[in-house]
Amino acid sequence: DGVELLKWLSEQKCLTPIILMSGHDKNYTEMASTVGTKKGNTIVGTLTKPFQIAELEALLQNTLLAYQ
């Protein structure tokens, strides 16, 4: 599951910014974001499915600007 993946990514010292997407409710994505951040991952945003493509585009654009 996603939380296990976040744990594994932190063990691998992954430096890539992460956008979390889930079909679970917003509480789940917020919990996963908290876990990921505590494990040392860089969580740049969360999206709850279904989401609008414009939401993803905005998040990607903001991430690109922040990490140039």
Sorted by where each begins, the domain ranges of the chain are: 2-66
Q: Which residues of the chain are modeled with pLDDT < 70?
A: none
1-30 residues labelled b (16+ CB within 10 A) or e (exposed): ebeeebeebbeeebeebbebebeeeeebbe
| CATH 3.40.50.2300 correct for 2-66 | yes
pLDDT at 68: 85
The model's pTM: 0.87
